[in-house]
């Protein structure tokens, strides 16, 4: 079984206000609690209907079944196609992707988000942690990229015509980016941060 990721947007102050040894259980319950019924992987937003639990929202990416593999393959696709993308679009998608799922390639490409990587002090097993102050910057990149995603179609096809693994079509890649765009847009609207829990 591979690594999974559960993406939450959270009221940062609420989580930081918890006792440190209670944060892991708090976030696991937010990601997997009984409020979600039978289908944890239904695309889009879900939240608890319980009183006092209005401090988080959970987002399920389309056709990923909670697996991190989709995020890995999206990064793989971007790494192979980015040199074929026109510079202005690449210059906003490089940092957007790096901030959310395209980690660790700054050393080889020189492209990264420029956002500080601060180790989490929450003692929670996280694949991603973006505090509220990072979110408006990431949203700014998304607002520039979102209307121009169709320009990625030709580079996607040209870069890796066999398209093995996950994210095998341009439509799946664009939808994946749009899902991340939805996550950061809603987090910005609420003034919240973004977390990716390892599961």
Separation CA 10–CA 149 (nearest Å): 28
Separation CA 3–CA 19 (nearest Å): 27
Mean pLDDT of 154-182: 90
Separation CA 107–CA 118 (nearest Å): 18
pLDDT of 65 reads: 84
**CA distance to 8, 33, 58, 160, 167, per residue, from 180 (Å):** 11, 22, 12, 23, 14
Percent of the residues in the chain that have a pLDDT greater than 90, as a whole number: 58
Separation CA 199–CA 196 (nearest Å): 9
pLDDT higher than 70, residue 164: yes
Averaged pLDDT of the chain: 88
pLDDT of 153 reads: 96
Name 108's Cβ contacts closer than 8 Å, sequence gap at least 6: none
Q: Is pLDDT larger for residue 47 or for residue 194?
A: 194
**CA distance to 30, 179, 199, per residue, from 27 (Å):** 5, 21, 11
Mean pLDDT of 46-56: 83
Strand partners, 130: 194
pLDDT higher than 60, residue 1: no
Per-residue pLDDT tens over the stretch 56-115? 999 999 988 889 999 999 999 999 999 999 999 999 999 999 999 987 666 667 767 778
Q: Is pLDDT larger for residue 113 or for residue 35?
A: 113
Question: Is pTM beyond 0.75 here?
Answer: yes
**CA distance to 101, 155, 165, 168, 191, per residue, from 76 (Å):** 10, 13, 10, 11, 31
């Amino acid at each position: 079984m591979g690594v999974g990721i559960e993406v939450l947007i959270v009221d940062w102050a609420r989580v930081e206000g918890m006792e440190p040894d209670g944060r892991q259980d708090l976030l696991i319950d937010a990601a997997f609690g009984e409020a979600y019924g039978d289908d944890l992987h239904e695309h889009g937003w879900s939240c608890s209907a319980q009183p006092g639990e209005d401090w988080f929202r959970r987002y399920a990416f389309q056709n990923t079944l909670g697996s991190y593999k989709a995020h890995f393959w999206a990064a793989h696709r971007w790494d192979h196609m980015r040199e074929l993308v026109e510079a202005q679009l690449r210059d906003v998608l490089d940092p957007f992707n790096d901030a959310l799922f395209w980690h660790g390639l700054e050393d080889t490409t020189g492209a990264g988000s420029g956002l500080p990587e601060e180790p989490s002090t929450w003692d929670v097993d996280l694949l991603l942690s973006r505090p509220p102050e990072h979110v408006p910057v990431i949203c700014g990149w998304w607002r520039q990229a979102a209307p121009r995603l169709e320009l990625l179609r030709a580079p996607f096809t040209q870069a890796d015509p066999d398209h093995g693994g996950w994210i095998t079509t341009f439509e799946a890649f664009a939808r994946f980016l749009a899902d991340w765009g939805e996550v950061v847009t809603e987090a910005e609207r609420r003034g919240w941060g973004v977390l990716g829990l390892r599961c």
